Every structure is written in structure tokens, then in C-alpha cells.
Amino acid sequence: MVRCRFFQPTDLNANTLPQQADKLRNQQELERLQAKYVGTGHPDTTSWEWKTNIHRDTYSSIAGHPPLLSYIALAENEPVAKVRVQMIRVCCLSQEWPSRLVEDG
């Protein structure tokens, strides 16, 4: 093996190319999921939008899963039908932007 004083065999990192390919693959997968599912967000998603999506998903999940709905109804000492209506109402309310975000532009 010929040795060069400027280049050592240890200078090459054999793992560099696979790591870069993994990063690219992960980025492409994230972009595909973000395009497919609205709630996953994108780089321009504000924290308010993200939190709103999480709240809506939670309420709709509770309303759609009878065991969760029964649990909440039992905890609140309310009828299941009333809790379902409350969850759907909260989920479907049009969320307005906070006034401070609208003013900032």
C-alpha cells in the first residue's frame, strides 16, 4: 500500500455515503407523509396551526372511539351522548386566528 503524507486511509469515512442516503430517504419520506396527511404540517406551519390540528384530532378521536367516549363521560359524570355532542362541537368549531397573530401580519 502506497502511503501519501497528505492523504491517510483513515480520512475516508466509509459511512458517509450511506448516512447521506438515509438522510435524503428520510427527508423524502417526511415530505410524502406531509403531502398525504394534512395534520403532519410543513415547514411553514405555525405553532398555533399545529396545536389546533392536534386538538381537533384528539376531540374527533374521542368522539369516534366508544371506549374513550365512555371513559370521558364517566369522568365528567355526563351522559355519553352529551359528551359526544360536546366533542364534535369543539372539534368542528371554526378556530379563528388569535388577534395578536392577525395584527402582526
With a cut of 70, which residues of the chain have pLDDT below it?
1-18, 39, 94-105
Per residue in 4-33, pLDDT tens?
555 555 555 555 566 788 888 888 888 888
Cell numbers found for residue 86: 360536546
Q: Compute the distance between CA of residue 73 and CA of residue 66 in angstroms, rounded to an integer.
A: 10
- Nine cell digits for residue 52: 389546533
Question: What integer pLDDT is reported at residue 82 of this predicted model?
Answer: 94
User: Domain spans of the chain?
Assistant: 46-94
pLDDT for the residue numbered 4: 56
